[in-house]
Amino acid sequence: MYTRPPPPPPNTDRGVSTRYCDGTTSDISEGTEALFAAAGWEAAELLHEYLHALWPDTQCGAVKDVNPLHGLLTTPEYGNISWALIQLHRFLVAYAKKYKRGDDTDSEEEPSRYKSVAADVQRWIDEIVVGCEDEALHRYITWQQDDARVEFFSVYGNLMHLVGCSQPPATTMRIIAFSMIEGKKKRENVAILPVEESRGYAGGGELSYAGVHKYGLNWSRAWALKSLHSAILRSQQSIRGREGQEEVWDEKQKGMLLECWKAHLNAGLDTFKRIQLVEDKEWYGSLSPIHALVPLPSFLILLLA
Amino acid sequence: MPAEEKEVLAQLLPVIQTALVVPSNVGRYPIFDGSYDWHSCVHAHWYWLSKLLTHLIFCRATIRIARALGQPLANTYVAGAPPLLVFTTPNYSLFAHVGTVGDESLFHHKFTQTNMTQEIAMLKQNPSFERPYGLAWFLTLCTEVAGYVYQATTPPPQH
């Protein structure tokens, strides 16, 4: 899953501005990069230590009736581990990419902390989603459970996103088959997965701070659907359903999944815009993400050029 | 005012006054001290930095295009990036020209070795603080910045 990270190459410019490959320089120096990389490792190890202490001492799949992982995923937002796993995985991938040397030989130079954290993250992902299939994850966590939560992430969506970005296509397809998209009828249901309507906390109206939770929920579903859609496009394999039947995603079905992604994305945007109208200068969320997107289309055009 | 309301108010007033005099988070944490809670401040900084870095990547792409076209940068019009129009030399400080998205001095003022060390020490001393949610956001921010330099310094593929 991860590429072994060799030690960073010697750099004679350390401490001064980074010189880019096209000759320009930036004020984000390698010193700054090193500062954030070191801080990232501190955070990763603290998270690793925290999760390691929480993790139940059992093998996934051995427990049929009671899933010990259940509690780690269904706790309230600030306590559940789905977001932490996504970020740990993302950090490790970025680290591995940065120091990728191009060969796959093992080496004693590999930092032990990377080995340790990466091995556990891989194991945890395996235990939660890959190895558990219907016995654990999908038995307790579903898209539908979003309806019962008043939080801003779809926990199941986060885990599906983790699958989409961490697993090889074949595994992803198998998990999709075992999760919510088994059979034509279910696929169609997913494609029309309703966007979440705002459910404010007690005393909070639709356009209150609770709106954050609406667009967060829709957007976290959106990135999960996009990850799954990307995985389906990458995979040339058909999906084999739980009962062994072979299922193929045709273009129409893929399109429906994409439409579902767009619906959730737009629902989040709509909520966000309405919040801006009401809360404007009072809420720091008015750092508008719309504005952040402005340069992106131009940037993509430049890349294509 | 009814007696009951007076009684309630009498009980509430100390709470309200306490809330007013309790110092805010400002100064409580070395870096992430400007929001109601720590993780909100962390992801606000993440947002600010990711926006800044996106803009930097965009600026660099514009430079590359201008060079490929053999045009002065000042003549390379790109919608959505008016600050670029003032660039005239290749080796400038990019941060100095992205006033619309961030302040270089703020970045360097906040993210110092000392502040970062203190922030991490605080996290280590408080094992239950903001775990796992806030800590995951902190990791997100670190990945964003550390990963940017890799992206910017990697030569484009040679065809």
ipTM, 2 dp: 0.71
Q: Which residues contact B36 (CB under 8 A, 6 or more apart)?
A: B25
Of B135, B136, B146, nearest to A94 by CB-CB distance is B146
Quick one: CA torsion of B37, B38, B39, B45, rounded to 10 degrees? 110
B109 interfacial to chain A (CB closer than 8 Å): no
pLDDT at A49 over 90: yes
pLDDT at A106 over 70: no
Of B108, B119, B136, nearest to A83 by CB-CB distance is B136
Give chain A's largest Cα–Cα span: 61
Residue range A2-16: mean pLDDT, rounded: 39
| Res A298: pLDDT | 43
Closest A-chain CA to B147: A94
Q: What is the pTM of this model?
A: 0.70
Phi, psi of A19 (to 5 degrees): -100, 125
Residue range B101-121: mean pLDDT, rounded: 76
Task: From chain A, pick out residues whose CB is under 8 angstroms from the CB of B78.
Answer: 298, 302
- How far is residue A25's CA from residue B91's CA, in Å, rounded to a whole number? 6
Of B35, B136, B149, nearest to A30 by CB-CB distance is B149
Q: Which residues contact A73 (CB under 8 A, 6 or more apart)?
A: A80, A81, A82, A128, A137, A140, A141, A155, A159
Location of structure tokens 């999944």: A257
| Res B153: pLDDT | 47
Structure tokens at A128: 């939660």
Task: From chain B, pick out residues whose CB is under 8 angstroms from the CB of A303.
Answer: 61
Q: Which of A3, A12, A46 to mutate to test the interface with B (most CBs of B within 10 A)?
A: A46
A282 interfacial to chain B (CB closer than 8 Å): no
Structure tokens at A292: 């952040």
A and B: number of Cβ contacts within 8 A: 171
Q: Which residues contact B28 (CB under 8 A, 6 or more apart)?
A: none
Average pLDDT, whole number, for chain B? 64
| Res A159: pLDDT | 84
pLDDT at A73 over 90: no
Band (A46; pLDDT cuts 50, 70, 90): very high
Residue bearing the bigger pLDDT, B80 or A227: A227
Q: Which residues pair with A247 in a beta bridge?
A: A239
Report the share of chain A in percent with pLDDT over 70: 44
A304 interfacial to chain B (CB closer than 8 Å): no
* Start-end of H helices in chain A: 30-54, 70-74, 82-98, 112-125, 137-140, 155-166, 169-178, 183-191, 211-234, 251-279, 289-293, 295-304
pLDDT digits (tens, 9 = 90+) for B21-76: 444 555 678 888 877 788 888 887 887 777 667 666 666 666 666 677 766 555 44
